Amino acid sequence: MPKIELIQGDCLEKMKDIPDGSVDMIFTSPPYAERRKATYGGTNENKYVDWFLPIGSEIKRILKPTGSFFINIKPHTNKGERSLYVYDLICRLKRETGFMFVEEYCWTKNAFPGILKGRFKNAFEPIFHFTKNSPNEITFNPVACGTPMKEESIARTYRKQCGAPKNGSGMTGMNTTNIRNLKLARPSNVINVNNVSNQFSDKQLHPATFPEGLVEFFVKSFTQEGDTVVDPFMGSGTVGIVCKKTYRNFIGIELLPKYFQIAEKRFRGKGIKTGSIKELKDNECIKSI
């Protein structure tokens, strides 16, 4: 039975209670700079990186050497220009906090209808992957979300293979026997999950959309059952719900009582009637602080 710990408060303070090197994954979507002023606020884009970096240092401290930190954040447009603070954040997380910047994932989703001047509808969000150590050393289940291979792809594994390139890309020579036996193709770094699946945002209980399918891809690919996942900006608790369903332990931190209470209800299966929480009725493993 996974252990679920829900903590109400400021993540910078509350993460101090989590021991060094004890967490397998941090998966989070922090408030974007002042995009939700009316609901949960946010920091001005000019101050955003200075606000986030101490949180980034705490994340690095609690992460295991085999762990991964994923952050979903997309720069908004301001007076027709796309803001650059997210790129500053990524560079400074690498340079000042000392993370390795491993990958950028592209989450493609349905776009909001509408006509924009000089640009098309926004139908993707990035997810940035950081680690403490080389990605050769992290927990990684490459076919946990694999897709069945096509016959022609299996046939291709019988052709003569090239060896591993020496350019540091991490590409290895193919273990063709293994691939043939599994008959599963590795996913790419482009993940398509429509955002309508977050029933908690549809009901306007929490304004941020975050589909369970997106979280599931990363949790299954970068942790094992029994591992511990932290979301320092828990909101309505989507990351934790996925952890509970996939037998990972979860620690969620949320600043605002109104969202903390939504997450609590969601975990305990109380008050909100939806299909996805029916199976989460066993409450013994849930601790709220």
Scanning 76-84, 164-172, 174-182, 249-257 for contacts with ligand SAM by CB under 6 A, the matching segment is: 249-257
CB of 124 to ligand SAM, least distance (A): 17
Judged by CB under 6 A, the stretch of 27-35, 78-86, 92-100, 267-275 that binds ligand SAM is 27-35
Residue 95's SS3 state is helix
How near is the Cβ of 63 to ligand SAM at its closest, in Å?
17
Which tokens hold the place of 5?
């710990």
Q: Which of 18, 29, 62, 132 binds ligand SAM (CB under 6 A)?
A: 29
Residue of 236, 246, 249, 276 interacting with ligand SAM (CB under 6 A): 236
Strands (E), the chain: 4-8, 23-28, 63-72, 77-78, 81-82, 100-108, 124-131, 147-148, 184-185, 190-192, 228-231, 249-254, 286-288
Are the C-beta atoms of 29 and 210 separated by less than 8 Å?
yes
In the list 6, 11, 86, 144, the residue contacting ligand SAM (rule: CB under 6 A) is 11
Nearer to ligand SAM (CB atom), residue 89 or residue 179: 89
Q: Quote the least distance from Cβ 208 to ligand SAM, whole Å.
A: 4
Regarding 233 and contact with ligand SAM (CB under 6 A), the answer is yes
**Strand pairing report for 77-78 and 81-82:** antiparallel
Residue 195 makes contact with ligand SAM by CB under 6 A: no
C-alpha 45/C-alpha 31 separation (Å) is 11
Token pair belonging to 242: 């996925």
Q: Counting contacts by CB under 6 A, is residue 253 touching ligand SAM? A: yes
**Using rule CB under 6 A, residue 10 touches ligand SAM:** yes
Q: Tokens in use for 253?
A: 């931190």
Q: Output 69 or 259, the one with its CB closest to ligand SAM.
A: 259
Residue 259 as a binder of ligand SAM (CB under 6 A): the answer is yes
48 binds ligand SAM (CB under 6 A): no
Distance from chain centroid for Cα 201: 17
Residues 6 or more apart whose CB falls under 8 angstroms from that of 204 comprise: none
Say whether residue 208 binds ligand SAM (CB under 6 A).
Answer: yes
Q: Which residues contact 213 (CB under 8 A, 6 or more apart)?
A: 193, 197
Residues that bind ligand SAM (CB under 6 A): 10-11, 29-31, 40, 206, 208, 210, 232-233, 235-238, 253-256, 259
